Amino acid sequence: MKICSSRKAAVIIVALTLAGCSTTGGKTGADGAPVKEMGEGGLTAASAATMGGDWRGNPLDNPDSPLSTRTIFFDFDESQIREDFRDVVIAHGQYLAANPTVNVTVEGHADERGSREYNIALGERRANTVRNLMLAQGAASNQIKTISYGEERPLAIGSDEHSLSQNRRAELLY
């Protein structure tokens, strides 16, 4: 149940991000953006991954593509990419490999539990596992920058498990 709600939120965040900025812009509006409920019509990461669609613009702008998911969530004190996000990261890696002029920044984040500098290190490790899986798809190392904000830039304010799970994440910023 938790996983499902995370997925839905990921898509919602991406939707807000896409609405808020162009694909070439630096910052997304994801940080601190209010998360609105989309209702049953919202796409899940899994359904997006299986839908090809007939999109003619920039593939990053295709809401039916796994590329539209730009936030990858993690389990507590874990930096392994969860099964439900593997396809998303692989799709981004393949996209970068096919578009060598495109660059991305992977921001690693942690929830508020534990010490702050350890969380910086944990956030970096999450960003690096995302980066490494993208490199394995043929992306070049100079296309992917990483930075960790640890617990300093939470997406959700709150200490309940749902908020914490929203904050353990890597964000892809094109």
Partner 1 sequence: MKIFLAFVVTLIWHLQAAAALTIEITEGATGALPIAVVPFGWEGTGNGPGQDIAAIVSSDLSRSGRFKPLPVSDMLAQPHSDAQVEYRDWKVLGMENLVVGRIQPNGSDGYLIRFQLFDVFRGSLLTGYSIPATEGDLRAVAHRIADIVYETLTGSKGAFSTRIAYVASITGADGKKKDTLQVADADGYDPQTIVISSYPLMSPAWSPDGLRLAYVSFDRAKPAIYVQEVFTGKRQQVAAYNGINGAPAWSPDGRQLALTLSKDGNPEIYVLNLHSKGLRRLTDHYAIDTEPSWSPDGRNIVFTSDRGGQPQIYQVSSSGGQAQRMTFEGSYNARASYSPDGTSLVMVTRQGSDYRIGLLELGPRRSQLLSTGKLDESPSFAPNGDMIIYATKSRGKHELAAVSLDGRVRQRLTLPGGGDVREPAWSPYTRYNRSN
Of residues 146, 165, 166, 167, which one binds partner 1 by CB under 8 A? 146
Please, which residue, 49 or 122, has the CB nearer to partner 1?
122
Q: What are phi and psi of 70, to 5 degrees?
A: -120, 5
* Among 2, 30, 35, CA closest to 17: 30
Give the residue among 67, 70, 65, 61 at the shortest CA–CA distance from 19: 61
**CB of residue 81 to partner 1, shortest distance in Å:** 17
Footprint on residues 73-132 left by partner 1 (CB under 8 A): 77, 112-118, 120-122, 124-125, 128
Residues 48-77 that bind partner 1 (CB under 8 A): 77
Kindly tell me which of 85 and 149 has the beta carbon lying closer to partner 1.
Answer: 149
Q: How far apart are the first and last CA of the chain?
A: 30
- Find the shortest distance in angstroms from Cβ 68 to partner 1: 24
Q: Which CB, 7 or 168, lies closer to partner 1?
A: 168
Q: Between residues 51 and 147, which has the closer beta carbon with respect to partner 1? A: 147
Structure tokens at 49: 């991954």
* 171 binding partner 1? (CB under 8 A): no
Binding of residue 148 to partner 1 (CB under 8 A): yes
Cα separation, 127 vs 148, whole angstroms = 7
- Segments in 21-76 forming alpha helices (H): 45-50
CB of 66 closer than 8 Å to CB of 14: no
How many residues lie near partner 1 (CB under 8 A)?
A: 24
Per DSSP, 59 falls in state G
Give the binding site for partner 1 (CB under 8 A): 77, 112-118, 120-122, 124-125, 128, 146-150, 152-153, 157-159
